[in-house]
Structure 1
Amino acid sequence: MMKITTCFDGGSVTVKDLSDAGNIRLALRPDNASDFKQWFYFRLQGAAYTPCVMHFDNAGESAYPGGWDGYQAVASYDRQNWFRVPSRYENGVFTIEHTPLANSIYYAYFEPYSNEQHLNLLGEAQGSGLCQIDDLGSTLDGRDINLLTIGNQADSDVKIWVIARQHPGEPMAEWFVEGLLGRLLDPQDPTARALLDKATFYIVPNMNPDGVVRGNLRTNAAGANLNREWLNPSVERSPEVFFVREKMHETGVDVFLDAHGDETIPYVFVAGTEGVPNYNERTAALETLFKQAFQAASPDFQDEHGYAKDEAGQADLRLATNYVGNTFGCLAYTLEMPFKDNDNLPDDDFGWNGQRSLRLGESVLSAFWAVCRELTAGQEEQAAA
């Protein structure tokens, strides 16, 4: 007998009809306190060697209907190895067609990164001996908002802030941070060693743990889209932003990166702060330097496809990148990775996945190093003068 369940971190789907394996009717479940919906993650049991056709009847009502075009769902038997399965989108219905080879299989919108993995990541980082973990406060569900600090914390250090997963249904962002941390905490990596001689990193691997556990796409437990809360956060509605922003004002920020996933655009790209009031030639030069170094470090990164740039003075300062870039006068970027595949380097079996996100996180250290050298060279010139 077939069964679908979602009682695990990130689980999310609504079952409408499970009587016929060839015509399973499902629905995307909205975030717990908002209408956003696109994320799904569920376990199917009892269908080994049975051709299954699963229809998401309300896919046309999702947050990003254009995200379904050209998209293939992911599946796994062990939640370690994920692969793409045949999928299509027609007339507002998203359909997965797959024959499981075992009685237990998981399907998801993207390779998940659970809260348990998040806690394990914190433990591994602390175990390196190079990382300090601080508790900034609690979420509305009582989960910890943790900050990883890596570096000497000297006043002269370049302050590099990296946050991820403001939108919980974008797990590629935390896979990215895992890769960044793995390389940064490797004492044999010359780029990491050079960076930590000149910079201190402040990293929040998961800005929205409540949303992750609840299986939300974009919001926290209160229904707040954290990436629209930066201008005026509150402990009552968006404590995650409130406490992180408070710490930023304590440490200062020289470089900022906010990791995300984009449902529609099949490329890796960044979005900057061209539209904020304090944008200037210095920031523009640092942006160019960062992008050139990132492209040299990773063929997955490109700068041709992405979001339209804001006109001068038209940026939405509620967004993290715009708020931080404008407030601190620093280089600030939103990094976007695809849910589909990177059309510049396609992979039919896996598409864009956790490991590719992780490798991208490793490569971004080269871009940070290029910017760090430029910033410290300026400091040294001022000191000499």
Structure 2
Amino acid sequence: MKISTQFDAGSVVVHDLSNPDHIRLALRPDNASEFAQWFYFRLQGAAYTRCTMHFENAAQSAYPNGWEDYQAVASYDRQNWFRVPSRYENGELIIEHTPLANSIYYAYFEPYSHEQHLNLLGEAQGSGLCQIDDLGSTVQGRDLNLLTIGSQAESDWKIWIIARQHPGETMAEWFIEGLLARLLDPQDPTARALLDCATFYVVPNMNPDGSVLGNLRTNAAGANLNREWVNPTLERSPEVYYVREKMHETGVDLFLDIHGDEGLPYVFVAGTEGVPNYNERIAMLEDVFKDAFQAASPDFQDEYGYPKDAAGQANLTLATNYVGNEFNCLAFTLEMPFKDNAALPDDDFGWNGQRSLRLGESILSAIWATCPYLRD
């Protein structure tokens, strides 16, 4: 048997591969920080062999509660991913599976590769409705691209959507793929109506370095980008620096920051209740948006989520809090599960790339319902 990780986002530490019934593995931390949760590896030579894989440091991971009721994903072709029996006991994540072929991949969640990212950019540009701009370079010199969709008229609503500040949250870029597919469909009436009166600014991947490196949460310099919004620097967090500069150039009427949550098995949003500029107008906009989103997608719910910050107690280093406060606009962090969606479970696939994609499509209906109220 052989385990390898020398590919885009590959990540695992192998301690002992001599016994297929007790393969000893460990989660590998991000390249420049201690966050560990993401794994993605290829197992070869184990066709029709019962394999039991033990992640021995699972209890020391960034979010150990994320392993409760979690099922790992696997694929033979990296196109079709399915859940495999997994359990968390005695501080270990244990995956039990018998591969039906000599080559199989296992991952924390359905990956979204850098090649897919580049293809997504190309397809968006090919629509004829999208302009691609290079905002600058990441720590390791990768391109940080912005997609601009709309006429960019001064009167347009300015809709900003960013994804994957945390690179291991790959569902975020699947979400963007679905959103773009609908927004760039000339036959979709909601998309056409939106583009008559709004310009969209979309960053499909805020953290290309971390994505390629197989990091869970940080960029190549070890920065958690979603804690860098008050004072980003070109040395530590150029990704946030460039995006924030562009936001100040365009203005923002609605902001969405797309994420995945390791522990909570729900789709939910977190608003800006604790920022200094929060007011009744923003509270009304939040209600309009959430009601419209629930109508658009049964996958979204508003009963379970993060505790709301007390007035004036929000952490402004988070993107949603910074942008919502700075631009006095509606701003949400949207979270999707790594597990299944307990509100609408699927035993075979759990939450996956396709469901993230469909959610991205549906959110355009919520945006359309909210747009008329975005400005005073």
| TM-score bracket for this pair, using the shorter chain length | over 0.9
Q: Which residue of 2 aligns with 1:343?
A: 342
Are residue 149 (structure 1) and residue 148 (structure 2) matched? yes
Q: Which residue of 2 aligns with 1:257?
A: 256
Q: Which residue of 2 aligns with 1:164?
A: 163
Q: Which residue of 2 aligns with 1:21?
A: 20
SS in 1 for 2:74: strand
Q: Which residue of 2 aligns with 1:59?
A: 58
The amino acid of 2:243's aligned partner reads: V
Q: Which residue of 2 aligns with 1:241?
A: 240
Task: Trace 1:88-167 onto structure 2 (pairs within 5 A).
Answer: 88-167=87-166
Shift of 1:375: 3.1
Q: Which residue of 2 aligns with 1:306?
A: 305
The amino acid of 1:253's aligned partner reads: V
Shift of 1:250: 0.2
Distance in structure 2 (CA, Å) of the matches to 1:282 and 1:309: 17
Are the equivalent residues in 1 in contact too, given 2:254–2:374 (CA < 8 A)? Answer: no
Distance in structure 2 (CA, Å) of the matches to 1:331 and 1:373: 12
Which runs of 5 or more residues in structure 2 are unaligned?
none
The amino acid of 1:209's aligned partner reads: P
SS in 2 for 1:135: strand
Shift of 1:57: 0.1
Which runs of 5 or more residues in structure 1 are unaligned?
379-385
Distance in structure 2 (CA, Å) of the matches to 1:345 and 1:79: 25
The amino acid of 1:79's aligned partner reads: R
Shift of 1:371: 1.1
Q: Which residue of 2 aligns with 1:226?
A: 225
Name the TM-score, length of structure 2 as normaliser.
1.00
Distance in structure 2 (CA, Å) of the matches to 1:219 and 1:116: 20
Shift of 1:91: 1.2
Q: Which residue of 2 aligns with 1:7?
A: 6
Distance in structure 2 (CA, Å) of the matches to 1:321 and 1:160: 13
Are residue 178 (structure 1) and residue 180 (structure 2) matched? no
SS in 2 for 1:181: helix
Are the equivalent residues in 1 in contact too, given 2:329–2:374 (CA < 8 A)? Answer: no
Task: Trace 1:36-51 onto structure 2 (pairs within 5 A).
Answer: 36-51=35-50
Distance in structure 1 (CA, Å) of the matches to 2:126 and 2:73: 32
Distance in structure 2 (CA, Å) of the matches to 1:183 and 1:374: 22
Name the TM-score, length of structure 1 as normaliser.
0.97
Q: Which residue of 2 aligns with 1:382?
A: none
Task: Trace 1:249-328 onto structure 2 (pairs within 5 A).
Answer: 249-328=248-327
The amino acid of 1:280's aligned partner reads: N
SS in 2 for 1:137: strand
Q: Which residue of 2 aligns with 1:383?
A: none
SS in 1 for 2:372: helix
C-alpha distance after superposition, 1:181-239 (max 9, x if no partner): 00000000000000000100000000000000000000000000000000000000000
SS in 2 for 1:270: strand
Shift of 1:373: 2.2
Distance in structure 2 (CA, Å) of the matches to 1:270 and 1:372: 18
Pairwise CA RMSD? 0.6
The amino acid of 1:7's aligned partner reads: Q
Shift of 1:277: 0.1
SS in 2 for 1:100: coil
Q: Which residue of 2 aligns with 1:203?
A: 202
SS in 2 for 1:362: helix
Across the two proteins, how many residue pairs are aligned to each other?
Answer: 376
SS in 2 for 1:329: coil
Shift of 1:104: 0.2
Shift of 1:73: 0.1
Distance in structure 2 (CA, Å) of the matches to 1:242 and 1:4: 38
The amino acid of 2:167's aligned partner reads: P
SS in 2 for 1:15: strand
The amino acid of 1:177's aligned partner reads: I
The amino acid of 1:354's aligned partner reads: G
Distance in structure 2 (CA, Å) of the matches to 1:207 and 1:86: 32
Distance in structure 2 (CA, Å) of the matches to 1:144 and 1:210: 9
C-alpha distance after superposition, 1:304-327 (max 9, x if no partner): 000000000000000000000000
Shift of 1:294: 0.2
Distance in structure 2 (CA, Å) of the matches to 1:250 and 1:304: 36
Distance in structure 1 (CA, Å) of the matches to 2:165 and 2:87: 28
SS in 2 for 1:33: coil
Percentage identity across paired residues of the two chains: 82
SS in 1 for 2:256: strand
Distance in structure 2 (CA, Å) of the matches to 1:175 and 1:319: 22
